[in-house]
């Protein structure tokens, strides 16, 4: 599923959390990436007001920073996060629900 489709199908709370994460990534990466800075300036620096396609474009520009951030977080977490990642990556049919994951984790 493409990011634009995901953003249109999730609720506002989930979308806001994603946009705030994207905003934080963009803020940190803009001084290193001129193309990213140009894209953010096109939307007047207000990522929360960006359209789905603009958000998708911004995410593609910061995806390497996002990957690095995820790797750093996983490295600091230890074995428990490894177990959770294994469960989620094998959930190709998207059947995992919070209660089911909690039961497996316990």
pLDDT tens-digit map of 1-20: 588 788 878 788 888 888 88
Give one word for 96, left, alpha or beta, with left for phi > 0 and alpha for psi -120 to 50.
Answer: beta
Distance CA 48, CA 16 (A): 8
Q: Angle at the Cα of 90 (from 21 to 15), degrees rounded to 5?
A: 25
Would you say residue 26 has pLDDT above 80? yes
| Token pair for 28 | 């940190």
**Structure confidence at residue 95 (pLDDT):** 67
Contacts made by residues 66-75, CB under 8 angstroms, sequence distance 24+: 66/25, 69/25
pTM of the model as a whole = 0.60
């Amino acid at each position: 599923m493409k990011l634009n489709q995901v953003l249109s199908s999730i609720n506002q709370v989930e979308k806001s959390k994603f946009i705030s994460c994207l905003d934080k990534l963009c803020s940190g990466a803009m001084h290193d990436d001129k193309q990213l800075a140009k894209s953010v300036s096109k939307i007047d620096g207000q990522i929360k007001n960006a359209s789905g396609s603009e958000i998708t474009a911004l995410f593609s520009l910061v995806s390497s920073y996002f990957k690095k951030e995820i790797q750093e977080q996983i490295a600091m977490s230890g074995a428990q996060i490894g177990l959770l990642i294994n469960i989620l990556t094998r959930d190709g049919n998207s059947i995992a629900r919070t209660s089911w994951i909690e039961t497996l984790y316990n």
